C-alpha cells in the first residue's frame, strides 16, 4: 500500500470535524455535502473486500427514497447480496476514522479479515440520478484507484441492476450477462414466454401506469421498452424531466400517505404502480368507481406470487418446501390468509431486508416482501436444478408445462435483491396468466386498518426488543402497558421498535376499525413518550 498516495488523496476528501456515521441496512445515508470522504473511503473498503473474497464487489451511490438533497452509498457482496454484517463494522470504523488513523485502520482490517494485499481487486460502480451522485461516484473511484483496484463504472443504473451485474460477474455468466442489454434480454425473454401462455394473449393490450418517482426507474424503463412484447403498454409518469426526485411521489410516499402520487391522473379501476427513487421497491394501487383509493402493498404482492407459485409447485408434483417471510409490519390479514387459506408457512423476522433474505434462503422457494414493497423470491440451487430438468425432460405434458412456467419465473425474478422492474413484470405476468383484474387481486383479503406513528426520544437505545421486534424488553413496564392497551380493541396488535437511523421510536398498531387503530397507536405513543424518555411536547391525537 502506497502510504504517500493514500495521504495525498485522503487530504482531497477530508472528513468534516465531529461527523460520525453508522453503516446500517441502507448503508450510509445523509446530506450529500457530508459524504465526500465516506465515498472515498468506501472505494478503499470495496478494494479490501474484493481482495478478501477474491471476487468483484459493487458500490452503489444512492439514497433510495430519501429527499433529493441526500445521498448515500452501499456495498454489494459477490452474489449480489448485501454487505456481510462483520464488514458493516469495518465500514463504520473507516468512515469515522480521523485522517491520520486511516493507514492504521486499513492495516487492522486487513489483519482481522485476513485480506491478502497481493490479490487483484475488482469493483463495479453504479449511481442514481441525484445531482450529487456523479461527483460522489468519482470520489469512490479515487478510493479504488489509490489501492490499485480495477473498476467498471456502469454510470446510471437502478440499485437492483448493479446487484444483478455483480452476481453475473461472479458466477462467470451463469446468472446472466453482466451488461444492461443482458439484463433487459434475460427479463424480457422470460416475460414474453410467460405472456404467450395467457388466456387473452395477443388480443388485448395490457395498460399500466407507472410513477417513476422522478428517478432512475424512468430512464431504465424507457431503455427497456423496445424489449417488451407488444401486448404490454407502459405509461411513465414522474419521469424526472420536470420535478424533484421522490417529491410527493414514489412508492414510499404512496405507502405512507395512502394516496396517489402527484402528476398521475387515475381513472377508475386503472392499474397503477409506483417505484421508489432507486427502483428497488414497488407498490400497486387503483381508484374504485366511487373514487376510493386502494393500496396494494408488499404483503399483497407476496400473497399473489405465493398463490401462483403454490399452484405450479402442486402441478409439477415435487416435494419442494415453500414459505413466506414477513416482518412485524406485515398486515395481520395477510398473515392469516397465507397461513389459514393458502396453508403456506409464514415466518416473521426482524425489520431489514438482510434478515428477510437470510431467512428466505432456508427454503426451496422463499418468498419475502416488506410491506413497503421491497422483496423478491429465492429458489434453492436444488429446486432450480430440479425445475429446469423437469422443463426439459418430463414426459407428462401438464407437469412439463408447469415446470416451464416455473423456469421462466426463475429467470424473470431478480433473486439478488428486491427489483421494481422485475417485480412489476412478475406481477403483470401472473395477473395476465390468471386472468385477474387489479380489483380481484385486491379482494383476496381486506387489510386490517392500521397506523404508523413515531415518537422523538432522547436516546433510541433505551428500547430493546425480542421475538422479531414484536415485544419490547426495555424500558421496564412498557410491554405490559402495550399488552393492556391492545386488550381494549378487537383484532388488535401493536409493537414499538427503535429506528435504525434516527432518535425516534416507531409505533405500529392495527385494529378492527381505523378509529380504533388510530386510538391504539396514539395511546401506545403516549406510553413510549412517558416510559422511554420522549422529547418535546407529548404526542397529540
- Residue 355: Cβ within 10 Å count: 18
Integer Cα distance of 178 and 219 in angstroms: 19
278 carries a ligand binding annotation: yes
Is 91 known to sit in a ligand binding site?
no
Is 372 part of any known ligand binding site? yes
The reply to whether 142 sits in an annotated binding site is no
Strand 272-275 relative to strand 375-379, pairing:
unpaired
Smallest CA-to-CA distance from 159 within 366, 501, 430, 422 is with: 422
Please indicate if the annotation marks 239 as binding a ligand.
Answer: no
Laid out side by side, the sheet with 375-379 consists of 346-349, 322-327, 365-369, 375-379
Alpha-carbon span 421 to 278, nearest angstrom: 11
Active site residue 188: no
Catalytic residue among 10, 50, 64, 525: 64
**Surface-to-core class of residue 501, CB atoms within 10 Å of its CB (0-12 exposed, 13-18 middle, 19+ buried):** middle
3-state secondary structure 516-529: HHHHHHHHHHHHHH
d(CA 344, CA 56): 37
39 and 143 Cβ atoms separated by less than 8 Å: yes
CA 127 to chain centre: 16
User: Are the CB atoms for 72 and 186 separated by under 8 Å?
Assistant: no
E strand spans, 131-192? 150-156
By CB neighbour count within 10 A (0-12 exposed, 13-18 middle, 19+ buried), where does 111 fall? exposed
Q: In a 10 Å sphere around its CB, with 0-12 CB exposed, 13-18 middle and 19+ buried, how is residue 490 labelled? A: exposed
279 annotated as a binding-site residue: no
HSE-up (13 A, CA, CB side) for residue 97:
27
In degrees, to the nearest 5, what angle opens at C-alpha 266 toward C-alphas 202 and 193? 25
Q: Closest Cα to residue 124, out of 89, 160, 166?
A: 166
Evaluate whether 371 touches 331 at the Cβ level (below 8 Å). Answer: yes
Phi, psi dihedral angles at 232 (to 5 degrees): -105, 125
Q: Where are the alpha helices (DSSP H) in 1-158?
A: 3-12, 36-53, 85-96, 102-112, 133-146
Q: Is 370 labelled as part of a ligand binding site?
A: yes
Nearest to 193 by CA among 220, 231, 234: 231
CA angle 101, 105, 72 (to 5 degrees): 95
501 is annotated as contributing to ligand binding: yes
What cell was used for 332?
Answer: 395481520
* Cell of residue 348, nine digits: 416473521
Name which of 52, 42, 49, 51 is nearest 21 in CA terms.
42
Grid cell, residue 439, equals: 380489483
Question: Is 506 assigned a ligand-binding role in the annotation?
Answer: yes
Cell matching residue 481? 402497558
Cα–Cα dist 119/116, whole Å: 6
What residue has cell string 388466456?
199
Q: Specify binding-site residues.
A: 64, 276, 278, 280, 370-372, 497-501, 506
- Residues serving a catalytic function are 64
Q: Specify binding-site residues for substrate.
A: 370-372, 497-501, 506
Q: Specify binding-site residues for Mg(2+).
A: 64, 276, 278, 280
Amino acid at each position: 500500500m502506497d502510504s504517500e498516495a493514500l495521504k495525498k488523496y485522503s487530504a482531497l476528501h477530508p472528513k468534516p470535524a465531529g461527523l460520525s456515521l453508522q453503516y446500517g441496512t441502507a448503508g450510509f445515508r445523509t446530506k450529500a455535502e457530508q459524504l465526500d470522504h465516506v465515498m472515498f473511503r468506501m472505494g478503499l473498503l470495496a478494494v479490501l473486500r474484493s481482495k478478501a473474497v477474491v471476487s468483484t464487489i459493487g458500490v452503489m451511490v444512492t439514497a433510495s427514497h430519501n429527499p433529493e438533497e441526500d445521498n448515500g452509498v452501499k456495498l454489494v457482496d459477490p452474489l449480489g447480496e448485501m454487505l456481510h454484517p462483520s464488514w458493516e463494522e469495518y465500514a463504520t470504523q473507516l468512515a469515522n476514522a480521523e485522517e491520520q488513523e486511516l493507514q492504521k485502520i486499513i492495516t487492522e482490517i486487513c489483519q482481522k479479515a485476513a485480506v491478502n494485499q497481493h490479490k487483484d481487486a475488482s469493483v463495479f460502480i453504479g449511481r442514481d440520478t441525484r445531482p450529487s451522485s456523479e461527483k460522489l461516484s468519482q470520489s469512490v473511484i479515487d478510493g479504488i484507484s489509490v489501492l490499485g483496484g480495477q473498476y467498471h463504472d456502469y454510470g446510471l443504473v437502478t440499485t437492483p441492476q448493479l446487484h444483478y451485474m455483480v452476481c453475473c460477474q461472479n458466477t462467470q455468466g451463469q446468472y446472466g450477462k453482466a451488461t444492461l442489454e443482458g439484463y433487459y434480454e434475460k427479463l424480457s425473454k422470460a416475460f414474453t414466454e410467460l405472456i404467450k401462455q395467457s388466456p387473452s394473449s395477443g388480443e388485448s393490450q395490457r395498460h399500466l401506469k407507472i410513477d417513476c418517482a422522478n428517478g432512475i426507474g424512468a430512464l431504465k424503463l424507457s431503455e427497456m421498452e423496445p424489449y417488451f412484447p407488444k401486448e404490454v403498454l407502459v405509461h411513465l409518469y414522474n419521469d424526472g424531466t420536470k420535478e424533484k426526485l421522490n417529491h410527493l411521489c414514489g412508492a414510499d410516499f404512496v405507502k405512507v400517505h395512502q394516496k396517489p402520487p402527484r402528476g398521475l391522473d387515475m381513472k377508475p379501476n386503472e392499474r397503477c404502480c409506483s417505484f421508489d427513487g432507486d427502483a428497488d421497491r414497488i407498490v400497486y394501487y387503483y381508484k374504485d368507481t366511487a373514487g376510493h383509493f386502494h393500496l396494494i402493498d408488499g404483503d399483497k404482492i407476496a400473497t399473489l406470487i405465493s398463490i401462483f407459485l403454490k399452484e405450479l409447485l402442486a402441478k409439477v408434483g415435487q416435494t419442494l418446501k415453500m414459505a413466506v417471510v414477513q416482518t412485524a409490519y406485515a398486515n395481520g390479514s395477510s398473515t392469516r390468509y397465507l397461513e389459514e387459506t393458502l396453508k403456506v408457512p409464514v415466518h416473521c423476522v426482524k425489520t431489514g431486508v438482510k434478515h428477510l433474505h437470510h431467512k428466505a434462503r432456508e427454503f426451496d422457494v422463499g418468498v419475502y416482501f416488506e410491506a413497503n414493497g421491497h422483496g423478491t423470491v429465492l429458489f434453492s440451487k436444488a429446486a432450480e436444478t430440479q425445475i429446469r430438468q423437469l422443463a426439459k425432460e418430463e414426459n407428462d405434458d401438464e407437469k412439463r408445462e408447469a415446470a416451464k412456467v416455473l423456469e421462466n419465473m426463475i429467470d424473470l425474478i431478480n433473486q439478488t435483491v428486491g427489483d421494481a422492474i422485475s417485480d412489476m413484470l412478475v406481477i403483470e405476468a401472473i395477473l395476465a396468466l390468471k386472468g385477474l383484474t387489479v380489483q380481484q387481486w385486491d379482494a383476496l383479503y381486506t387489510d386490517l386498518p392500521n397506523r404508523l406513528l413515531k415518537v422523538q426520544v432522547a436516546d433510541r437505545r433505551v428500547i430493546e426488543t425480542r421475538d422479531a421486534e414484536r415485544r419490547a424488553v426495555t424500558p421496564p413496564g412498557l410491554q405490559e402497558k402495550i399488552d393492556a392497551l391492545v386488550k381494549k380493541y378487537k383484532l388488535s396488535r401493536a409493537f414499538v421498535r427503535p429506528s435504525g437511523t434516527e432518535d425516534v421510536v416507531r409505533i405500529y398498531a392495527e385494529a378492527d376499525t381505523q378509529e380504533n387503530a388510530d386510538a391504539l397507536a396514539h395511546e401506545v405513543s403516549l406510553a413510549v413518550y412517558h416510559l422511554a424518555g420522549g422529547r418535546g411536547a407529548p404526542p397529540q391525537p
